[in-house]
Structure 1
């Protein structure tokens, strides 16, 4: 599946003014196994054991939803793993997970100036500060909505409404691109044009069907 809804050829093409992008696996890939491999020697556990401990707990979701701050997150993980992680060491391990997707970088540069661009991401303060915000295409975004600031995780409607309010656009004038179908479908249910990212060629074809000049 390449899009969460198929444009109706019997209706006029919508006038798209804004495009919202997810970050992980749309703008940059990410690999949480890097975190596990970096932390495992510090607390004398295997990466597999750490994966169960960390991602089987409520801490990552609480951090991304803004329910806890960075200090509480680090203290919670230290207690969970039985090792008092040094903050600087932990941040390096925790945030060294992103790899750019060059085709999306190029697409964003082509779209900038002709459309208003926004970012909607389920993320946490450290991933944002040390991974997302430092990405070279980040300045292209006019509006940024982060789950820990909005205190809502996709597919909660509140995170999409926050993004729409920041650009001041009607949902029907906006596209949202995410690699997770349920998140794209949630945008569609609010009147946006939700597209599922499966690769650069499919994305450009979906955008072209919506009348977006790519």
Structure 2
């Protein structure tokens, strides 16, 4: 069956993911090292909590101010948050070339990034028919519920979908549900795989 919807992961596929850029900038703003910032955000479980959608942008901002001593504005924090993502122009061109198929981002990320995306990374947000974030879905990959909820939101069945991710565990989870899944290793390889998959 010809696919109807192509799902793309954000960090590691549509964008090159550089978490250290975020950690360094936030650490500098708060007067701590990037390593200390990583411990506070990741080891403590805050990032997972936020990716699950348990806190809004305003609540994330308040936590960063109270726990980390951040004194910038919410808009400034959003800009810092987005520094971890470097759009890959070759992948974005592939997304453009998929029309009239529908496309969607399917990513584990928080409300802070979701709210910032249209202005901070307009070349990304404008490319997709839907932005499906774990903070909206209430679950993170590779939980199969991520995929079933995404399919329901896009109104398609597993055999009508393609999923692209850089992590093998996420690709395997999608395949278990009957979704055609591609592990991303570069724009050139992805283009060839999509050409083969979508050939008439």
Q: TM-score, normalised by structure 2?
A: 0.88
The equivalent of 2:110 in structure 1 is 124
The equivalent of 2:126 in structure 1 is 139
The equivalent of 2:43 in structure 1 is 56
Inter-partner Cα distance in structure 2 for 1:22 and 1:184: 10
Question: 2:18 touches 2:84 (CA, 8 Å); kept in 1?
Answer: yes
Inter-partner Cα distance in structure 2 for 1:79 and 1:171: 43
Pick the structure with greater CA Rg.
Answer: 1
Inter-partner Cα distance in structure 1 for 2:123 and 2:13: 15
The equivalent of 1:8 in structure 2 is none
- Note the 1:1-214 alignment, pairs <5 A: 14-81=1-68, 83-88=69-74, 89-113=76-100, 115-131=101-117, 134-210=121-197, 212-213=198-199
Q: CA 1:141–1:22 in structure 2 vs 1: closer, same or farther (change >3 Å)? A: same
Long gaps (5+) in structure 2: none
Give CA deviations for 1:16-74 in whole Å, capped at 9, x if unaligned: 22211111121111212122222223332222222222221111111110112223323
Taking only aligned residues, the RMSD between alpha carbons, in angstroms, comes to: 2.1
Higher mean Cα deviation, 72-81 or 153-162?
72-81
SS in 2 for 1:85: coil
Between the two proteins, the alignment pairs up a number of residues equal to 198
Indicate the structure whose relative CO is greater, using CA pairs within 8 Å and at least 6 residues apart.
1
Long gaps (5+) in structure 1: 1-13
CA drift at 1:84? 4.2
SS in 2 for 1:182: helix
CA drift at 1:165? 1.4
Greater helix share, structure number: 2
